[in-house]
Structure 1
Amino acid sequence: MALTFSFTTPIYLKFFKPDWVSPASLAEMAHIGEEVGYDEIAVFDHFLEPPEWQPSYATNSYDPMPLLGFLAAHTSEIGIASATINIPYRHPAVMANELATIDKLSGGRLCIGLAAGYLAEEYDTLALDFANRGAIADEYLAAMIELWTNEYASFSGEYVNFNEVKLASFPVQQPHPEVWIHGGNLRALRRAISYGTGWGPIVGPGLSSDTGSTDFTIGSTDADTTDDPYAELVQALGQEHPGVHVPHSKTYTWMEEVLEREREAIEARDEPLGLWLNFRVDKSTVGEANAMIEEQVERGATKLSVGINAENLEDHNATLRAIGEQVLPNWR
């Protein structure tokens, strides 16, 4: 599996400024990424902003579906990726058709990244079952695959049912675009093994080291995950200390342990399981990027997401360009 590189749109960063995500700014980023050789540009999926995100993370999260279409329309070759779309937020038939439409209109450039989500506020707003989101995500994903791979599809489950229905749009990529499963828990890994091209655990230099650095509110793991001591600990703490913050990202040691634990299932797959990791740079650390990439490749990364810290749009785009021109050619 060839190593590929994506960069993420700066829709919620510590140093975010509103002009960073104007239509003109997003189009410019997409043009730079395509020009200097990134494989994909990736977007996220949030529609609410919890109060605790302010002022640390000012946000402006466009809905991923129209944003993917916008980026596809402003480019011709670079892949477009959902770093994460939260599966339970949309009915699987609607989401399957939306993603197939984007793949078709982009000429087969879509890469699908999916997760179960972690913001209870978003689930509450949608009147969805936060506690069982992992089970819902599993079923919705299975239903979408049925819709993509059958002219007339049927599905019978606890959360979704349909009989002999046909999507209005089918993806260009067959049987469907790559599906990457994100999530820092055992259930997400098992979801990736069963349905995905690869797994994206929430680990990476600058985001979380083996000591952890990024916080989130207790209760925001995939709560119905089974056999995951970390999730069980978070749930136990949450009962005693609601609202307490704990490390969001797992350690690399944890990642290696769960991959080893599931090795038999991974090796039984028809195709190797990809691993989507990340690294973060700013204008002063571009020279360290090759070492960061090498570290992640040694861990098994097959896809890397480049996160950029910057205090203004000019520095962001200059760093984006520098990585593409000075670093990526070393890995081709």
Structure 2
Amino acid sequence: MEFGFLLGDQPLSVPPEEHLDLLLRNVEAGQRAGFTHFTIGQHFLYSDYRWLQPIPVLARLAAEIDDDVRIGTTVLVGPLAHPVQLAEDLATLDIITGGKLIVGLGTGYLEREYAAFDKPYKKRYSMLEEMIELMTALWTQERVTFEGRYWQVDDMPTHVHPVQRPRPPIWLGAMKEVGVRRAARHGDVWTITPQQTIDQVADLVDIYVAERRALNLPLHRFPLRRELQVADSYDEALHDFAAVARGKYVSYASQGMGLLDQERVEREFLENVADHVLLGTGEQVREQITAIAQRLPVGPLLIRPHWPGMDAQQSARYLERVGREVVAPLKDLQSVGFD
């Protein structure tokens, strides 16, 4: 089993140079702890927290990563970009990383971001599908003619192609059945979000697999997002997780993230999150991950090493412990295949 983590946001009170330094130090500590995937999400005009933009951050990180490490976006808000610029930016990033880029795409969930870019929020899903088709053409063809509903290219040359052929892997984010079916049709994998129980995930995996097989498309293991907290006991892990994560979950819910109920998050945080967070001693967490791997074809497992308010030393201690008690002992764990 491979492990990775998300490089996250910071409160606006943290100076931006400290924010970048924290991300770099997290990657350094993560590599020492055995993590092999580093990803970053995207928001625009966000409230309360700062999201550094992924493509320049990942270009900076490319100089820091080991040969066995991959970096990626989880996820870019695809429809807010023009496919030609995004395709060339990502192809350039794939060149900079030496072919280690993963392209995670989604539609986001904030209508105000679409309003700021003068993009139709209600058409975001069809826009995402079309932009993937156009970007794939731009990455794989010498000249492109494209007549779409939203974008057109009339017999134009392409000049920036990715190192990975035919293109970097595309991970598509989704939370519900319709999005999972879209991921099956238009991407390489569905990135499993952390807000669902394993039972819910299992049902969606079945839907994804059936859709891929109907289209005669190859199957790949699913990147699994999960929050993870290790402590000397389960109760201590639950307490520690609440201490660092409650505020961020309340923020997510207040800004309209699906699958989170703001009132319940504020009133019953632990009851609302405990069934989809990996919690306990190192042994308990290893058992939880092993049980998932025996049920679902997953990997890598992506966690969050840092919550707003934690400093670099706290993140490093967290990563060292997770590396020692979870990552290293499970390095030979293989998840189930596809029946």
Tell me which interval the TM-score lies in, with the shorter structure as reference length. Answer: 0.7 to 0.9
Residue of 201, 225, 228 corresponding to 1:255: 201
Paired letter, 2:162:
P
Note if 1:201 corresponds to 2:196: no
Report the Cα distance in structure 1 between the residues aligned to 2:191 and 2:8, rounded to whole angstroms.
19
Superposed CA offset, 1:195-238 (max 9, x none): 222101323xxxx3xxxxxxxxxxxxxxxxxxxxxxxxxxxxxx
Q: How many residues align?
A: 277
1:153–1:166 CA contact under 8 A, matched in 2? yes
TM-score under structure 2 length normalisation = 0.74
C-alpha displacement of 1:171 = 0.7
> Residue 36 of structure 1: CA displacement?
2.6
Would you say 1:159 and 2:150 are equivalent positions? yes
- CA contact under 8 A between 2:10 and 2:19: conserved in structure 1? no
Instruction: Return the alpha-carbon distance in structure 1 between the equivalents of residues 322 and 229 of structure 2.
Output: 10
- Give the 5 Å matches for 1:56-135: 58-77=48-67, 78-135=69-126
Matched AA of 1:331:
K
Q: Is the 8 A contact 2:78 2:128 kept in 1?
A: yes
AA of the residue aligned to 2:23: L
CA contact (8 A) 1:11 1:21 kept: no
Pair 1:145-2:141 in alignment: no
Deviations 1:56-89 (A, max 9, x none): xx41101111111111123243211101001101
Task: Please say which of residues 182-191 and 137-146 is displaced more in the overlay.
Answer: 182-191
Identity %: 23
Asked if the contact 2:198–2:292 (Cα under 8 Å) also holds between the matched residues in 1, the reply is no
Instruction: Map residues 179-218 of structure 1 onto 2, 5 A cutoff.
Output: 179-203=170-194, 208=195
Matched, 1:306 2:303: yes
- Shift in Å at residue 294 of structure 1? 2.0
Q: Of Structure 1 and Structure 2, which has the larger fraction of its residues in helix?
A: 2
Q: 2:44 aligns with which of 40, 43, 47?
A: 47
Letter in 2 for 1:9: L
| Corresponding position of 2:210 | 264
1:290 corresponds, among 260, 278, 286, to 286
Once the two structures are TM-superposed, the CA of residue 146 in structure 1 deviates from its matched residue by 1.0
Letter in 2 for 1:257: D
Specify every segment of 5 or more residues in structure 2 that has no aligned partner in the other structure, as ranges: 232-236, 238-280, 333-339
316-325 or 106-115: bigger deviation: 316-325
Partners in 1 of 2:167 and 2:87 — Cα distance?
10
How far apart are 1:274 and its partner, in Å? 2.9
Is this contact kept in 1: 2:141–2:158, CA < 8 A?
no
Structure 1 residue runs of 5 or longer lacking an equivalent are 51-57, 209-249
Q: Relative contact order, CA 8 A, sep 6+: which one is greater?
A: 2
Are 1:6 and 2:4 counterparts?
Answer: yes
Deviation per CA, 1:24-81, whole angstroms, max 9, x where unpaired?
222211122223321111101101224xxxxxxx411011111111111232432111
Superposition map of 1:4-43 within 5 A: 4-11=2-9, 22-43=19-40
| Aligned 8 A contact 1:282 1:308 in 2 | no
Contact 1:193/1:273, CA 8 A, preserved across alignment = no
- Scaled by the length of structure 1, the TM-score of the pair is 0.76
CA RMSD of aligned residues (A): 2.5
Deviation at 1:19, TM superposition (A): 7.5
C-alpha separation between the residues in 1 aligned to 2:300 and 2:27?
Answer: 18
- SS state at 1:175 partner: coil
Q: Distance in 1 between matches of 2:148 and 2:19?
A: 41
Alpha-carbon offset, residue 312 of structure 1: 2.4
Pairwise CA distance, 1:323:
1.9
